[in-house]
Amino acid sequence: MSMQHYGYGEVHGPRAGEMSRRGFMRRMLGVGVGILSIEFLAGTLAFLWPNIREGLGGRLTVGTAASIATNYPEWTEGLAYIFQSKIFVVNVPAAKARVEGEGEVSQPVGDPGTDVSSDIPAVDRSVLALYRKCPHLGCQVPQLCDQSQWFECLCHGSKYTVLGEYRAGPAPRGMDRFVVEMEGDTYVINSGEIEDGPPVGTVTFDDRDSQLIPHCAA
Partner 1 sequence: MTIEKRPNATADKTAPSQAPQVPTIERGGGPKLPGPPGVPGTERFRLLAYVKQESMVRVDKRPDETVLTWPHLLRAEFLMASLITMLLVITSFFIQAPLEEMANAGNTPHVAKAPWYFLGLQEMLSYFNATVVGVLFPPLYFIGLMAIAYIDRSPYKAARDRKLVWIFFLCLMVGGLLVTFIGSFFRGPGWNWVWPWEGLFFTL
Partner 2 sequence: MSFLVRAVRESALWRSLFRQPYPTTSRTRALAVMNNVFLHLHPVRVKTHAVRYTYTFCLGGISFFLFLALTVTGVYLMFFYVPSINRAFQDIQTISNSVAFGDLIRNMHRWAAHLMVLTVFLHMIRVFYHGAYKPPREFNWAIGVLLLFSTLWLSFTGYLLPWDQIAFWAITVGTQMATYAPLASTESGFILLGGIEVGQETLIRFYVMHVIAFPLIAAILLVVHFWRIRKDGGISGPV
Contacted entry of partner 1, ligand FES, partner 2, none for residue 142, CB cut-off 5 to 8 Å set by kind: partner 1
Q: Quick one: what does residue 85 bind among partner 2, partner 1, ligand FES, none, with the CB cut-off 5 to 8 Å set by partner type?
A: partner 1
Q: Does 139 bind ligand FES (CB under 6 A)?
A: yes
Sequence-distant (6+) residues with CB within 8 A of 180 are: 116, 125, 127, 128, 129, 187, 188, 189, 190
> Closest CB to partner 1 among 123 and 139?
139
SS3 210: helix
Applying CB under 6 A, does 200 fall inside the site for ligand FES?
no
Give the single-character DSSP code of 6. Answer: T
Among 137, 185, 186, 199, binds partner 2 (CB under 8 A): 137
What gap in Å lies between CA 184 and CA 38, rounded to an integer? 48
Using CB under 8 A as the binding rule, the residues of this chain from 155 to 174 that contact partner 2 are 155, 172
- State how far the Cα of 171 lies from the Cα of 11, in Å rounded to an integer: 72
Q: Is 159 in the site for ligand FES (CB under 6 A)?
A: no
Kindly determine how many residues on this chain lie close enough to bind partner 1 according to the rule CB under 8 A. Answer: 16
136 touches ligand FES (CB under 6 A): yes
Q: Residue from 79, 105, 171, 189 that binds ligand FES (CB under 6 A)?
A: 171
Of 23, 32, 34, 170, the residue at the interface with partner 1 (CB under 8 A) is 170
When binding is defined by CB under 8 A, the residue of 7, 138, 184, 201 that contacts partner 2 is: 138
**Is residue 155 within 8 Å of residue 134, measured between CB atoms?**
yes
Count how many Cα atoms sit within 13 Å of the Cα of residue 129 in the half-sphere of its side chain. 29
Burial 95-134 (b: 16+ CB within 10 A, else e): bbbbbeeeeebeebbeebeeebeeeeebeebbbbbbbbbb
Pair 94, 117: CB distance under 8 Å: no
Interaction between residue 142 and ligand FES (CB under 6 A):
no
Interacting residues toward ligand FES by CB under 6 A: 134, 136-139, 153, 155-158, 169-171
In the complex, which residues of this chain contact partner 1 (CB under 8 A)? 85, 136-140, 142, 154-157, 170-172, 217-218
